[in-house]
């Protein structure tokens, strides 16, 4: 399909301009002898991949800054059709606490979710804030809280995608679910007993309770919750919802809950 003469360009945003923005480093790879290609999630420009020239040189101002999950104030050159230039990186936060194995798995899983929801050079500030807020929680919450913090972050992520099922009402008839809920194979929504196909797949009352509590509690208070069940018992349900919404299976997630 071609645009009529004089019609505005199909791309409404146009090529990205040079910008300084909050950024989180997702990955980097070597480029030629001394440079690196770095992919970041940014608050103002979505996912940005850029060339950090000379980043391998011992006197490079990028040294020690463009590591995985570091938070930066990053300046990128304008998009001129090729690879953008990574002009400058100022280190805002280095989350050393995320180097512990389970925290690392959880943080990697969150970063992957957020990358999925953040297309190239299109800003999704709410997703960026979920990532940085989530990394802060995952770095400092008690070990025992890690599992339900991960579940809470997944619920927030599903909400941002518009893919979180109603936890309170039957997806079919809207009746309040109280403590009993069911799900149907191949369907994300929760349903009442009457609308559950046979054989009925029940959602445990404590699972429902944990997910509802996480959903209604501010994230900063998640570490203080004392759920009646381990997070891994509630984990299969958000896994189904994430798979339905993103068509991806996270190996980080599987590794993380295996160790819960």
Chain residues that interact with Zn ion, rule: CB under 5 A: 170, 172-173, 192, 195
Q: Is the Cβ–Cβ distance between 217 and 153 less than 8 Å? A: no
Q: 19 φ, ψ to 5°?
A: -155, 150
* Shortest CB 202 distance to Zn ion, Å: 14
Judging by beta carbons within 10 Å of its beta carbon (0-12, 13-18, 19+), is residue 14 exposed, middle or buried? Answer: exposed
- Helix 146-161 and helix 101-116, axial crossing angle in degrees, nearest 10: 0
Report the alpha-carbon distance of residue 209 to residue 113 in Å, rounded.
Answer: 24
* Shortest CB 172 distance to Zn ion, Å: 4
* Shortest CB 135 distance to Zn ion, Å: 39
The nearer residue to Zn ion, 83 or 173, going by C-beta atoms, is 173
The nearer residue to Zn ion, 141 or 170, going by C-beta atoms, is 170
The nearer residue to Zn ion, 127 or 171, going by C-beta atoms, is 171
* Shortest CB 51 distance to Zn ion, Å: 55
- Beta strand 46-52 with 201-203 is unpaired
* Shortest CB 169 distance to Zn ion, Å: 8
Q: 95 φ, ψ to 5°?
A: -95, 80
H or E segment and range at residue 127: helix 125-140
- Beta strand 35-42 with 19-31 is antiparallel
3-state secondary structure of 147: helix
The nearer residue to Zn ion, 151 or 192, going by C-beta atoms, is 192
The nearer residue to Zn ion, 155 or 192, going by C-beta atoms, is 192
């Amino acid at each position: 399909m071609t645009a009529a003469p004089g019609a505005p360009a199909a791309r409404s945003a146009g090529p990205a301009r040079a910008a300084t923005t909050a950024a989180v480093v997702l990955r980097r790879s070597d480029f030629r002898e001394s440079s690196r290609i770095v992919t970041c999630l940014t608050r103002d420009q979505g996912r940005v991949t850029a060339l950090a020239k000379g980043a391998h040189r011992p006197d490079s101002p990028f040294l020690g800054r463009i590591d995985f999950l570091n938070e930066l104030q990053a300046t990128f050159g304008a998009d001129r059709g090729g690879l953008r230039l990574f002009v400058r990186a100022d280190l805002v936060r280095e989350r050393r606490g995320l180097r512990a194995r389970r925290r690392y798995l959880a943080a990697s899983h969150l970063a992957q979710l957020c990358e999925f929801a953040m297309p190239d050079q299109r800003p999704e500030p709410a997703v960026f804030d979920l990532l940085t807020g989530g990394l802060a929680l995952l770095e400092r919450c008690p070990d025992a809280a890690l599992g339900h913090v991960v579940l809470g972050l997944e619920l927030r992520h599903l909400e941002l995608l518009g893919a979180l099922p109603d936890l309170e009402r039957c997806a079919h008839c809207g009746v309040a679910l109280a403590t009993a809920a069911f799900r149907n194979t191949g369907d994300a929504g929760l349903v009442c007993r009457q609308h559950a196909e046979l054989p009925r797949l029940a959602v445990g009352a404590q699972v429902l309770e944990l997910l509802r509590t996480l959903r209604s509690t501010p994230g900063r208070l998640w570490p203080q919750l004392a759920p009646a069940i381990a997070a891994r018992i509630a984990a299969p349900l958000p896994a189904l919802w994430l798979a339905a919404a993103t068509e991806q299976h996270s190996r980080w997630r599987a590794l993380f809950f295996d160790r819960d």
